[in-house]
Amino acid sequence: MARLRLKGKPSSVADRLFRAAIALALLAISLVVIVPLLNLLALSLSDPGRVGEVTGLTVLPKGFSTVNYRVLAANPLFVRSIINALIITIVGTAINLLVTSMAAFALTRERLPGRRFFMLLVIVIMVFEPGLIPEYLVIKKIGLMNSLWSVILYKAVNVYYLIILMRFFEEVPTSLIEAARIDGAGYGTIFLKIMLPLAKPAIATLGLFYGVFHWNEYFRASIYLSDPDKYPLQLILRQFVVLDDTASLIGSGALFSYDEAARLDYGALKASTIIVAMLPVLIIYPLILKYYTKGVMEGGVKE
């Protein structure tokens, strides 16, 4: 690894001060990232009676109460939106991985009829973004309006991920494939028994990225879905927190069924909604760090 210090030579005082300053500056950046997030977590878990004590820089809850989360869990629209988001994410990601890996395999076979044409098509799709209205009119025309499928199928193939997977498939040694062919394996066997197992780390990484994408999606849902029962969580979050529309969430919910509800703080309830919307991302984040950053760094070393 590239280091600016000579091996074995003791570092000077100036050198050490310089390094300490860098470490402090980086720690400050880390704090700027996590303090606002911890602050919302603290706010969401604080005792409703002591919410007033939570300042913008508080990172630990004042007292402890799960009332905000219980209020959310009792709200049918909110619970429904989590289910919708999970459906979109799980079905969407499964389709992503299936369609992307099948296409990547086909496009990397030299004998694919019309291969040059299909590759050109991929590049055209990558370069030209047709824009909102033409896409909207197509979705409307084929009858996908107000259907979860319009959101599930959006970005069914991310062209950049397709190309990454194609690079991966291209790196599989041809000798391996030739040997399988001599043993009588067809394309189906080669795809399922050789390519997919070898590309497992790449496919897992793409799955994580596709999954985060689906979970975070709100815009297509906002233009294609008209029925609030079909909204994913991010859209409810946008209405409640960003647009400050408390009526739509509360009007349909059993919000006042709790004794504590009278003392409920909207800021704390919003904070809880944000925390729930981040949770799945936080859960898979260690996996992302493990697969992706490792992949990038090792890829860097190999070259």
From the list 244, 279, 270, 280, the residue with the least C-alpha distance to 68 is: 270
How many residues line the site for another protein (CB under 8 A)? Answer: 98
**CA angle centred on 129, ends 123 and 131, rounded to 5°:** 160
Type of residue found at 145: M
Return the residue of 73, 132, 192, 254 that touches another protein, per CB under 8 A. Answer: 132
Of the candidate spans 76-84, 132-140, 166-174, 196-204, the one that interacts with another protein by CB under 8 A turns out to be: 132-140
Q: Is 13 in the site for another protein (CB under 8 A)?
A: no
Shortest Å, Cβ 55 to another protein = 5
Nearer to another protein, 167 or 257 (CB): 167
Return the residue of 23, 120, 179, 254 that touches another protein, per CB under 8 A. Answer: 23
Contacts 24+ apart (CB under 8 A), 121-130: 122/159, 122/162, 122/163, 125/159, 126/159, 126/160
Asked if 275 and 41 count as a contact pair (C-beta separation under 8 A), the reply is yes
Q: Is 258 in the site for another protein (CB under 8 A)?
A: no
Shortest Å, Cβ 250 to another protein = 17
Nearer to another protein, 225 or 277 (CB): 277
Shortest Å, Cβ 206 to another protein = 14
The Cα 284–Cα 216 span in angstroms is: 13
Nearer to another protein, 84 or 100 (CB): 100
131 φψ region: left (φ > 0), alpha (ψ -120 to 50), beta (else): left
Within residues 58-97, the interface with another protein by CB under 8 A covers none
Of the candidate spans 165-173, 199-207, 235-243, 256-264, the one that interacts with another protein by CB under 8 A turns out to be: 235-243
Q: Which helix (H) or strand (E) holds 260?
A: none
CB atoms within 10 A of CB 239: 21
Tell the residue number behind the tokens 């299936």, with chain if given. 98
Return the residue of 204, 264, 267, 287 that touches another protein, per CB under 8 A. Answer: 267
Taking residues 24 to 43 in sequence order and writing x for each that binds another protein by CB under 8 A, - otherwise, the string is -xxx-xx-xxxxxx-xx---
Q: Is 169 in the site for another protein (CB under 8 A)?
A: no
Q: Is 170 in the site for another protein (CB under 8 A)?
A: no
Q: Is 179 in the site for another protein (CB under 8 A)?
A: no
Nearer to another protein, 21 or 254 (CB): 21
**DSSP letter assigned to residue 228:** G
Within residues 112-131, the interface with another protein by CB under 8 A covers 112-113, 118, 121, 125, 127-131
State the DSSP string of 56-121: TT--S-SS---HHHHHHHT-HHHHHHHHHHHHHHHHHHHHHHHHHHHHHHHHT-TT-TTHHHHHHH
